[in-house]
Amino acid sequence: MSNISEKRITREELMKHARSKVCLPLDKIASISELRERVCELSPVAGLFKVGKGSFTRFGFDAINSVHRFGAGVFLDLKYHDIPATVRDAAYAATQQGIYMFNVHAMGGKKMMEAAVEGATKASEDYDIRKPKIVGVTILTSIDQAMMNDEMRIPGGVEDQVLHLALLSKSAGLDGVVCSAADLRAIRSHLPHDFMYVTPGIKGTTTPAGDDQKRVFSPGNAVRAGSSILVVGRAITDQPTPEARLQAGYEILQDMARYI
């Protein structure tokens, strides 16, 4: 048991801990009522819900409030990437919403990431609320080495660039990074024990992660590799019925629980 120190752990406790590590995206949703239905339906298998660019653009803070209404945490996935002053202000505003976590693009540079920490810290102090976790986006899981080298003109291997951006994120005071679970073997030994790893590109036990994901991992293997939070979307939400979606979610928790 790598993440829980107690000698005797019940299956229920393992599943509960696995659920706390699952973040389900609220993507491609047409109405706020549909968003609330999804959160209600899948709260048993997801402790966090990701409010991304689509849902936030459509529904604004109603999306965040809807997740909080069901007692779940929010990962605000807007990937801030701008001049430091703008990101500082955005981080301040995000923190006011009581979210669990938000992200910034690590390629925005150290000063920008430091500004995000400053904004979140100031809002936390001004409103006496918990400062959210801040994670730096390294290389998107939709990007493989050929794309990184040829299209983005970044030389070297993906893992080398992920490590560089992870170390930069740590030096800026961030809590962790967003990366593929496939990158963890190369970077974890260079970073603190309590550094967070948020890993998209997670496929189901019998279902894929999505055609646009290049570097994917199974849930159990992601936990074994050291993932802190697994972003699991289409492996659950593409199932045709509520019963099938819950079943897919529980199978993912069971796969994770083997390595917790």
Tell which residue, 226, 224, 218, has the closest CA to residue 251: 218
Q: Which runs of consecutive H residues, i.e. helices, occur in the chain?
A: 11-20, 32-42, 53-59, 61-69, 84-96, 110-127, 145-150, 158-171, 184-187, 219-225, 234-237, 242-257
| Residue pointed to by tokens 């909080």 | 68
Q: Single out the residue of 216, 238, 235 nearest to residue 225, CA to CA.
A: 216
Counting every residue, how long is the chain?
260
- Maximal CA-CA distance, the chain: 51
- Choosing from 79, 110, 122, 131, the catalytic residue is 79
Cα separation, 246 vs 74, in Å, equals: 20
Query: Is 111 a known active-site residue?
Result: no
Sign, CA dihedral 96-102-107-110, equals: positive
Residues 6+ apart with CB under 8 A from 229: 21, 22, 23, 48, 75, 101, 196, 197, 198, 199
Active site residues: 79
